[in-house]
Amino acid sequence: MASSGTCKFCGNVGRLVDAHIVPKGFFQKEGDLHFAVVNMAKAERPRRSQKGIWDDTILCAKCEARFASIDDYALTALLKRKTEARPLARNGSIVLGHTGGPLAYSLPRVDGAKVALFALFVLWRAGVSSRHECLPVALGPFEEKMRRALDQKTASALQGIYVTLWWEFNPELSGPVILPYRSKIRGVRLWNFWCGGYYFVVQTDSRPSVFGETPNQLAAQKPVWAISTSLLDQKEGANMVRNLREAHLRFGDPWKGRWKPPAK
């Protein structure tokens, strides 16, 4: 329920709204983890939600309306136009990756800078949220840097902030929303989250991009590519999915009440 307080974006005092950490449109009935909300930053059971999670301590109504276009663009570009994605091909043949499927997908008619702003908006909301699921998200000086980039909503504001886009190749894992969690590559700090069958990695480190000039790094006036990967490729994700599926086989649908051992 909306309440009164100080907006964490503009600093004005007024009526606050229910701001979703990840837009509810990304919660889909897809695969065997449909409508799932997963918290990788803390060991807790995934739960089901068709509306996602929201926080009424983040944004005032004016800021929510001002930045609604960022979420709306991502929903249109990444979900509604997903059927337009084309696999990477050379000499008429699809280039295959280690998954056995296409190595990468081209996303035509998608603005990389706008999608990058969406990733920052999700991460910023998680970083300032008072929800217990988001408490592990600590962005340090990048919290204000992301706020400024969102305030300007320009490609130049993204300089020094690196966002890469990945494609979940396993259709059974395209449904869950995985809240932001931390990782490192060669000591460089990264934040990760999954939604709509996509995987975002945001570097919160002042060093050069750990991914170099990979084609899936989002930028303005640059073709948008999503490289195939899977939650199962990551140790934490593989363990979570395996445990949930084993529990499902032993105890039934994990979304229906408390799990109970089968009758002897």
Per residue in 37-55, pLDDT tens? 777 666 555 666 667 788 9
The stretch 127-153 carries a mean pLDDT of 93
The stretch 76-89 carries a mean pLDDT of 94
> DSSP 3-state assignment of 106?
strand
The pLDDT value given to residue 126: 96
In this predicted structure, the answer to whether residue 244 has a pLDDT above a threshold of 70 is no
- In b/e form, how buried is each residue of 98-134, taking b as 16+ CB within 10 angstroms? eeebbbbbbbeebbbbbbbbbbbbbbbbbbbbebebb
The pLDDT tens digits for 105-128 are: 999 999 999 999 999 999 999 999
Phi-psi region of 204 (alpha: psi -120 to 50; beta: other; left: phi over 0): beta
- Cα gap 142→161, rounded to integer Å: 9
CB-based burial of residue 159 (10 Å sphere; 0-12 exposed, 13-18 middle, 19+ buried)?
exposed
In this predicted structure, the answer to whether residue 85 has a pLDDT above a threshold of 90 is yes
The pLDDT value given to residue 157: 79
Q: What is the pTM of this model?
A: 0.87
Q: Nearest-CA neighbor of 59 among 19, 118, 21, 20?
A: 19
CB-based burial of residue 26 (10 Å sphere; 0-12 exposed, 13-18 middle, 19+ buried)?
buried
- Range 66-69, long-range pairs (CB < 8 A, 24+ positions): 67/9, 67/121, 67/150
- Computed over every residue of the chain, the mean pLDDT equals 86
What the block records as the tokens of 211 is: 């991914």
The pLDDT value given to residue 252: 60
